[in-house]
Structure 1
Amino acid sequence: MTEAVFRLENAWHPIEGDPAGGLIFSLINLTDQPMRDFKLAYTTLTRVKSAPVVENAVFIKRNANFHQFAAPAGFVLPPGGVWRFTVQGLWRSAKHRTDGAKSAYITLADGQHVPVAVDDLMLEGRHSEAAPALLPKGEAKQPFSLLPWPKASNLTAGDDIPVAIFPADGTDLADLKAMQGVNLLYRRLFSVAHVPFSHVGVQQGVPLAFIADETFTAEAYSLTFGEHISMRYGDAAGRHYGLTALAQLLHGARLDPAQFRFPASGVINDAPRYNWRGCHLDVSRQFFPTPDVTRLLDIMAWLRLNVFHWHLSDDEAWRLEIKAYPQLTSVGVLRGPDEPMLPQLGNGAEPVGGFYSQDDVRAIVAHAAALHIAVLPEIDIPGHSTAILTALPELVDGQEAPESYHSVQGYPNNALNPAIEQTYAFLAQVFDEMVALFPSKLIHVGGDEVANNTWMASPLAKALMEKEGLDGTFGLQSYFMKRIQKMLADRGRQLAGWDEVSHGGGVDADGTLLMAWQKPEVGVALAEQGYDVVMTPGQAYYLDMVQDEAWQEPGASWAGTVPPKHTYHYEAVGEFPDALKVKMRGVQACIWTENFLNRDYFNHLVFPRLAAVAEAAWTPKDNKDWSRFLAIAPLVPKL
């Protein structure tokens, strides 16, 4: 990567009469040459409107989060000099240091692109509060390291820590393989720690007897402690969770013996609160290489989460190899100054791409299956489809004005047109290849954030509306989704989507799973319409949300402030009347990655809140304890 020889400082300031305030930019020339006839581009989520008020610069264009300005005619930026310009006319106020420019570059008169260093947004005209300590010190009143905490337990702490746990005589091959599987998981998560299980008897070890019990549900297990340990389990998943619990108990006692002990006697009887215990990852906005994805799966397994929702496409990129349409992962992933799609969300002068080959997908799905995690793939349609339409321009109604509508993120004409038959031929091939890759009975098809004037300037869409008696954008969306639902059913799959799939008449609720993200009461409304629901409201379970109101605390804020304590205590099912609770399948954390430019940022935002969602998904409400959680959460591995 070329070293940046320019620096962009940016600050937000309040403006009387304009609640959105304004941005101040200062470009510093660190070269020994004067600069003239150049343009500055930057990406930010604090977007400008179509006609911003600009001082000392010329506004050129905006595309979603991409902004470009030119220096005034005749302006020369000398070595060591500063070009300062201001922008007013923002869609929203900046609230945190991560609301400023995420990347920048200069385009010279000869077309060369030069990187520009940029850091967090500063604050002018108001006090900039420092980020506080987010987590107080916890206390484990019961000295056992288990997260999530079990359904029921009655344990007595021992004075000794076993060197290892080994199989009792007569243990069969399947149980031995299960022990090895958890050893391998443990070694990947804690590379310098002593593995919890030995496969032969060891001095100072404790024997473990396995008992399959048909009276247990599949994910249930029990552990009885004494001179030996016995485990009962319902199925392979229950056995895996029981072994993971033993590994956690031993790990905590070894790592922090002042707080945690290994049980000398007693019983754990455990089973999950919800069948759906999910974690979503957006890999479209920022690409995560396969080793990072498998690392996240390992962390999920450690926390007994069992659904990985893989968000594989969005406006910013299409990440899944489809052999019938190679342009999806040649054209539809490239962002850069001279690439098919402009830089977004932290991209600068260097082009970026990245996708998962079908071999990558098979490896990730197999890794997840070995950890008893189901992979739910998502391609986000009909909205959020800029990458698709860039790669496949034949799916555009050529009679429609190029910018007849914009998404909430500012992308022009970004939705697949339900009136173009080739759209369905394309999706049929995509679904055929997805079905071969993903065993999941559900395929998530997005359905969110279609702007309410979408397709209204498309002659083809208007003709379809008249022919089918459809009412506006959401009538068209419902028509589209019903066809998609039938296409999935023809392939033995069922439809999952975001809550907006219900708009305009929705789809057949039988077998459909919708995720309530906009606000908690949406989940109840979906259940009343007959849909099965997973609760993932942004106000509690979106892990990109800021954790404190202080300016210097990083994160997004459209859903409000989501401190770890709120994520931990939020009770999703509490919104549901008793008659509808059966429709609430479970809960899910969502990791949206617009702001996630590095691993430390990821870990700061995701942990310990992912563990908080895991405990909400597994542990009965009356067994939750915030102070105990705070004591154990630091032991959870990070990405």
Structure 2
Amino acid sequence: MLPVSYRLESAWQPEGGPHGRFTFTLFNLSDSPLSGFRLAYTSLTRVVDPAACDNATFLRRNANFHEFAPPEGFALAPGENWTFTVGGLNRQAKHCTDGAKSAYLTLSDARHVPVAVSDLRLEGATSEPPPARLPEGHVGLPFALQPWPAKIDAVAGEGLPAVLFPAANSSTEDIRAISDVLALFHRLFPAGHAPFSLAPSGQGQPIVFAKRGDLGVEAYRLAFSGREIRLEYGAAAGRQYGLTTLAQLIDGARNHATKFRFPAAGTIVDQPRYGWRGCHLDVSRQFYPTADIMRLIDILAWFKLNIFHWHLTDDEAWRLEIRAYPTLTTLGVLRGPDEPMLPQLGNGADPVGGFYSQEEVKAIVAHAAALHVEVVPEIDIPGHSTAALVALPELADGQEAPESYYSVQGYPNNALNPAVPFTYEFLEKVFDEMVELFPSQYIHVGGDEVADGSWMASPLARKLMEEEGISGTFALQSYFLKKVKQMLTARGRKLVGWNEVAHGGGVGTDGTLLMAWENPKVGIELAREGYDVVMTPGQAYYLDMAQAEAWQEPGASWAGTATPAHTYAYEAEGEFPEELKSRMKGVQACIWSEHFLSRGYFNRLVFPRLPAIAEAAWTPKEQKNWLRFAAIAPLSPIL
């Protein structure tokens, strides 16, 4: 490992500006002096007043990318440091991850060199360490199950079978189902002792399978007798969930014998609370290799979640190969100092890219389908489209003034223009390829965070608005999304979007599913308008939110603090009027990747809140128990 040549330390003080100020200190740890250089860093806490800095010159900002220069003629000798302050921030910092996420220097010869960064320090107030996320926990019934079943009436045994195996009369499909769940277990717990064997064992117990027409497709029933286990199921998904329950029971009893047991007698009767039990992953801000996507899908299956919402495009990158437009995954994924797009969160001197080929997509979809997980793809339109516009400049109205509007994340002119004819030709071809890749009945089209004022400086848009009698950004967005819905309907697909799809007149409610993310009340309003709704409020189900108010707790803060206890206890359905509850189709966790710069941060922020949401999606309200969950959650697999 090479030693660090340059390091950027940063601190935030509550005073020094309307939202406090940053103090940056660049250390020259190399053997050579620095002069004629520029410093760039990325940060979610953005500079909005370029004049509010001292001992540095603000050069430019693009969304989360910032660039500064030292005073003219300044030289930084080896072993010395340069300090400058920056006020005029868009918001106050609340957590240690609110500072610089990456940095680099551009030297006088135009070379770019990396700069190491540290977490943001707090000055002028107490920097508190993070509290424990889970209490010690307590189990009434000593069974290791995630999520907890709908009904359980079982007696714990003193011992446990070495393995479970298919009874002699098992069908080929039943034996394959055991093999599939065994393979899932080995992938998630490679050092764990196999809970199943395909061959009989004198130290084990047989599983007797029975398909039941009176059980739902995801339902199952387990009966324990000490001699055998009877697994009744409605369809293949229910059979998988029943086997997963058995794997969890035996693994918990084997590895944590002082706390958990295996049932000697009794029954488990189980089925999901909701049909949509989802987890979203943003792969635009940070790229996740195919192996990581497959492992996350394995984890979803282990928790009996059945939807993987794959957020494939955003301002930062377009990750899905579209053969009709190859520049989407050449120009539209490259971020770097000299690349088509500037570095963003976590990017530094080295260019970064990454996308999913169509062959990789097919493999991921097949892997998910084998585990009864449906992959719902998202291309985020019309906003959040910087990457697409960089890759295909002809999508823009060439007469529109640059930087005539900015998104909430600070991207200029980042929305596909509804008045550009090529927009629809482009989307037709994109959807043609997507429906070949994704068998899901749903395609998610985003529809969120279009800046008010978008397109108002576009002559083409102004002309279209006059012709169609449209007034304002959101009515024009509605016009656009109605055309998108027609495209999807023609391809046999249903439109899914974020709650802003309903703005400006929205789209037809029939065959439309909207996700309420801004706050819980939005979901009720959407249901009143006739939309089917999935609840994914940032205040409870966004897994990038910090889990405590303490400064040293990582994560975002715009939606407040989502402690594991709050995430577990939150009851989306409880806020719905009785007459609207049928519109609520389920719940979903959302993993936005701005803060996920390492595997460690991913696992810290996602767990234990992901299994908490899985329990909200599966377990009846009256069966939930926080202390029991806290006792079992540490057994969760992680990425």
TM-score bucket (shorter structure): over 0.9
CA distance in 1, matches of 2:494, 2:257: 48
Runs of 4+ in 1 over 4 A off after TM superposition: none
CA distance in 1, matches of 2:3, 2:232: 59
Superposed displacement of residue 19, structure 1: 3.9
> Are residues 1:154 and 2:161 paired?
no
1:347-386 Cα shifts (integer Å, max 9, x gaps): 0000000000000000000000000000000000000000
Structure 1 residues not aligned, in runs of 5+:
none
CA distance in 1, matches of 2:51, 2:133: 37
Superposed displacement of residue 135, structure 1: 1.1
Superposed displacement of residue 3, structure 1: 5.5
Residues 214-363 of structure 1: matches in 2 within 5 Å?
214-226=213-225, 227-363=227-363
Paired residues of 1:50 and 1:62 also in contact (CA < 8 A): no
CA distance in 2, matches of 1:180, 1:113: 51
Output the amino acid matched with 1:82: N
Greater mean alpha carbon deviation, residues 29-38 or residues 581-590: 29-38
Output the amino acid matched with 1:528: R
Secondary structure of the 2:460 match is helix
> Are residues 1:95 and 2:110 paired?
no
Paired residues of 1:105 and 1:348 also in contact (CA < 8 A): yes
* Other-structure match for 2:414: 414
CA distance in 1, matches of 2:608, 2:125: 30
Paired residues of 2:9 and 2:118 also in contact (CA < 8 A): yes
Output the amino acid matched with 2:562: V
Output the amino acid matched with 1:9: E
* Other-structure match for 1:200: 199
CA distance in 1, matches of 2:5, 2:191: 41
* Other-structure match for 1:583: 583
Residues 181-196 of structure 1: matches in 2 within 5 Å?
181-196=180-195
Output the amino acid matched with 1:387: A
CA distance in 1, matches of 2:524, 2:400: 38
Paired residues of 2:532 and 2:584 also in contact (CA < 8 A): yes
1:567-621 Cα shifts (integer Å, max 9, x gaps): 0000011110000000000000000000100001000000000000000000000
CA distance in 1, matches of 2:18, 2:552: 20
CA distance in 2, matches of 1:618, 1:112: 54
Paired residues of 2:49 and 2:87 also in contact (CA < 8 A): no
Output the amino acid matched with 2:592: W
Residues 368-447 of structure 1: matches in 2 within 5 Å?
368-447=368-447
Secondary structure of the 1:85 match is strand
CA distance in 1, matches of 2:131, 2:630: 16
Secondary structure of the 1:504 match is helix
CA distance in 2, matches of 1:229, 1:615: 24
CA distance in 2, matches of 1:78, 1:557: 38
Paired residues of 2:224 and 2:264 also in contact (CA < 8 A): yes
TM-score, normalised on structure 1? 0.99
CA distance in 1, matches of 2:425, 2:474: 22
Secondary structure of the 1:102 match is strand
* Other-structure match for 2:504: 504
1:290-312 Cα shifts (integer Å, max 9, x gaps): 00000000010000000000000
Q: Alignment RMSD, CA only?
A: 0.9
Output the amino acid matched with 2:200: G
* Other-structure match for 1:364: 364
* Other-structure match for 2:67: 68
Superposed displacement of residue 283, structure 1: 0.3
Superposed displacement of residue 52, structure 1: 3.8
CA distance in 2, matches of 1:33, 1:515: 54
> Are residues 1:494 and 2:505 paired?
no
CA distance in 2, matches of 1:251, 1:526: 43
* Other-structure match for 1:448: 448
Secondary structure of the 2:280 match is strand
CA distance in 2, matches of 1:571, 1:90: 35
Paired residues of 2:18 and 2:88 also in contact (CA < 8 A): no
* Other-structure match for 1:212: 211
> Are residues 1:514 and 2:543 paired?
no
Paired residues of 2:18 and 2:89 also in contact (CA < 8 A): no
Superposed displacement of residue 167, structure 1: 1.1
CA distance in 1, matches of 2:371, 2:278: 14
CA distance in 2, matches of 1:349, 1:52: 26
Structure 2 residues not aligned, in runs of 5+:
none
Paired residues of 2:49 and 2:89 also in contact (CA < 8 A): no
Residues 583-602 of structure 1: matches in 2 within 5 Å?
583-602=583-602
Greater mean alpha carbon deviation, residues 340-349 or residues 72-81: 72-81
Paired residues of 2:6 and 2:30 also in contact (CA < 8 A): yes
Output the amino acid matched with 2:155: T
Greater mean alpha carbon deviation, residues 197-206 or residues 245-254: 197-206
* Other-structure match for 2:167: 168
Output the amino acid matched with 1:613: I
* Other-structure match for 1:45: 44
Paired residues of 2:97 and 2:595 also in contact (CA < 8 A): yes
Superposed displacement of residue 50, structure 1: 4.7
Secondary structure of the 1:257 match is coil
Output the amino acid matched with 1:250: I
Output the amino acid matched with 2:340: P
* Other-structure match for 1:462: 462
1:98-143 Cα shifts (integer Å, max 9, x gaps): 0000000010111110110101001111111111111110111100
1:404-446 Cα shifts (integer Å, max 9, x gaps): 0000000000000000010000010000000000001110000
Superposed displacement of residue 475, structure 1: 0.6
Superposed displacement of residue 196, structure 1: 1.2
* Other-structure match for 2:615: 615
Output the amino acid matched with 1:492: G
Paired residues of 1:314 and 1:380 also in contact (CA < 8 A): yes
> Are residues 1:605 and 2:578 paired?
no
Paired residues of 1:55 and 1:86 also in contact (CA < 8 A): yes
> Are residues 1:109 and 2:111 paired?
no
Instruction: Give the percent of matched residue pairs that are identical in Structure 1 and Structure 2.
Output: 65
